[in-house]
Amino acid sequence: MAKILVTGATGQIGAELTLALRERHGADNVIAAGHRREPSGNLAQTGPYLSLDVRDAAALDAVVSGQRITVIYHLAALLSAVAEEQPLQAWDINMNGLLNVLESARKHGCQVFFPSSIAAFGPGTPPFDTPQDTVQHPSTIYGITKVTGELLCDYYHCRYGVDARGVRYPGLISNQVLPGGGTTDYAVDIFYAAVKQRHYDCFLRADTQLDMMYMPDAIQAAIQLMETDANRLMHRNGFNVTAMSFTPAQLAAEIQQHLPGFTIGYAIDPLRQAIADSWPRHMDDSAARVEWGWQPQYDLTAMVTDMLRHITAKLRNE
């Protein structure tokens, strides 16, 4: 039976992934670990939680060995925009955290999930139908930690046989926990503003096309990849995965189908615009589709309908 540790469990992905894993493996078999935010709602009520800074190698190793952990979903990280403001801290959390996780996994025989990102690509990468294996030369510290993370995971697999796997997530859209500090956060913020104020000022240009995914698909991708027979995998880490690709203007037009009075304006943040401009527009995720059956369920229309339903209900209850 799997005994799972989720680091970064209070974050945007972690909170929902922990609940999905608890449904699948039983609440007591999934330990949520967080550091910078307090657990809230279902996360705190449905199973074990502990406070853990992934930079503390001894503390992490004590949890992994003491709790007889067999699988680690390592989600603790700083996102792209906040990392650009604190590059040394981003390196410390994103790299030393991962290294500590891989070392514990090596010592105790754990499987590891590591989320990379579209940020692992850079301005020299082909922006459309970005291949699985291509130029990776990111211009952000976050992207550098993601490429290095992919390489470290491959290294620990080749050198020590650690079963480390991962995907390159695009921007993730969700309605439980806010992202915070990312370049694609506009695609979440816009829903709250649309429901509350019927207006949103976007920090990216109207024509900034980026890959995106709705959270239920992101959760499915992580679990499905981790449960795939290893013999099917030709790659292990950094699988391109995407579900849709749109611009702020296209997202606003889709929201207007539901809320005709909604308007969008643009107040460009040069830092986040430069980051977005360095990322691909649309990745080719055929390797994930072929090697482990990746198949997203939500396109732009389905995602917007579901997001508006959830955010409206959430704000009504606040």
CB of 123 or CB of 293, closer to ligand AKB: 123
| Mask for 138-167, x = binds ligand AKB (CB under 6 A) | ----x-------------------------
Kindly state whether residue 117 participates in binding ligand AKB, applying the rule CB under 6 A: yes
Of 144, 151, 153, the residue nearest 121 (C-alpha): 144
Task: Give the binding range for ligand AKB (CB under 6 A) out of 153-161, 168-176, 218-226, 306-314.
Answer: 168-176
CB of 34 or CB of 280, closer to ligand AKB: 280
* Pair of tokens at residue 232: 């099917």
CB of 100 or CB of 208, closer to ligand AKB: 208
- Alpha carbon distance 208, 32 (integer Å): 35
Catalytic residue among 142, 186, 200, 214: 142
Task: Give the binding range for ligand AKB (CB under 6 A) out of 53-61, 114-122, 234-242, 308-316.
Answer: 114-122
Q: Which of 4, 76, 95, 119 binds ligand AKB (CB under 6 A)?
A: 119
CB of 7 or CB of 80, closer to ligand AKB: 80
CB-count exposure of residue 14 (10 Å: 0-12, 13-18, 19+): buried
| Secondary structure of residue 88 in the 3-state scheme | helix
Tokens 């609440």 identify what position?
27
Tokens 């926990």 identify what position?
177
Q: How far is the CB of 281 from ligand AKB (least distance, A)?
A: 13
Give the number of residues in contact with ligand AKB, rule: CB under 6 A: 12
Name the amino acid, one letter, at 223.
I
Q: How far is the CB of 18 from ligand AKB (least distance, A)?
A: 19
* Pair of tokens at residue 144: 């550098």
Name the amino acid, one letter, at 68.
R
- Alpha carbon distance 67, 48 (integer Å): 11
Cβ neighbours, 10 Å, residue 99: 17
Report CA dihedral (228, 80, 191, 270) to the nearest 10 degrees.
-150
CB of 183 or CB of 208, closer to ligand AKB: 183
CB of 34 or CB of 171, closer to ligand AKB: 171
Q: What is the largest CA-CA distance in the chain?
A: 57
Q: How far is the CB of 111 from ligand AKB (least distance, A)?
A: 22
- Alpha carbon distance 168, 1 (integer Å): 28
Rg value, the chain, Cα: 19
Task: Give the binding range for ligand AKB (CB under 6 A) out of 40-48, 56-64, 180-188, 302-310.
Answer: 180-188
Q: Which CA distances in Å does 82 have to 79, 141, 272?
A: 6, 10, 10
The answer to whether residue 266 is catalytic is no
Q: Are 269 and 185 in contact (CB under 8 A)?
A: no
Tokens 């920090």 identify what position?
203
Please report, as residue ranges, which positions from 181 to 210 form the binding site for ligand AKB (by CB under 6 A): 182-184
Task: Give the binding range for ligand AKB (CB under 6 A) out of 23-31, 169-177, 220-228, 309-317.
Answer: 169-177
Kindly state whether residue 118 participates in binding ligand AKB, applying the rule CB under 6 A: yes
Residues that bind ligand AKB (CB under 6 A): 79-80, 117-119, 142, 169, 171-172, 182-184
Query: Could you list the active site residues?
Result: 142
